[in-house]
Amino acid sequence: MIVFYKDKEKRLIEPKLFSEEAERLAQKVAESGKDHRGKLEKNKRSQIRKFYDEVLRLNMLTRNDPKSWDVVLPYVNMVVAKAAYATGRGYVSKEFMEFIKGSIDQVRTHEDLDVFANFFEAFMGFYKVYGD
């Protein structure tokens, strides 16, 4: 599981979160989406991009209006349900769903959502190497 903070109380982000951790997770998620021939069957970039875009959209809502956090938080949590649905349909792997769930479980404030959005951005950069 990915851990965002080295020290949550001091809001110190894990130093290697956006580099080594993002790359490790991108490689793991890409591998979990490949079939026995090594062809990407699940976790196609277009599917993952939908989740990334949704996280960015929600993050921008709270950045523009931090007071909207209580309204936005239920929709942040709904991303887990969307990942579960996509997993059930065979669009994304269990590993991708675990990434989404584990990340959303750490989101308690709009600042946490910002860290998640930045991590997801780093993940997407590395995913281009391993997933496509």
Distance CA 119, CA 26 (A): 11
pLDDT-based confidence at residue 131 (cuts at 50, 70, 90): confident
Q: Residue 98 contacts by C-beta under 8 Å, 6 or more apart in sequence?
A: 1
Distance CA 61, CA 42 (A): 30
Tens-place pLDDT, residues 45-65: 999 999 999 999 999 999 989
Tens-place pLDDT, residues 4-36: 999 999 999 999 999 999 999 999 999 999 988
pTM of the model: 0.94
How high is the pLDDT of residue 59?
Answer: 97
CB environment 31-57: b (16+ within 10 A), e (fewer) = ebbbeeeeeeebbeeebbeebbebbee
Distance CA 38, CA 113 (A): 33
Tens-place pLDDT, residues 97-129: 999 999 999 999 999 999 999 999 999 999 999
Eight-state DSSP code of residue 19: I
How high is the pLDDT of residue 38?
Answer: 85
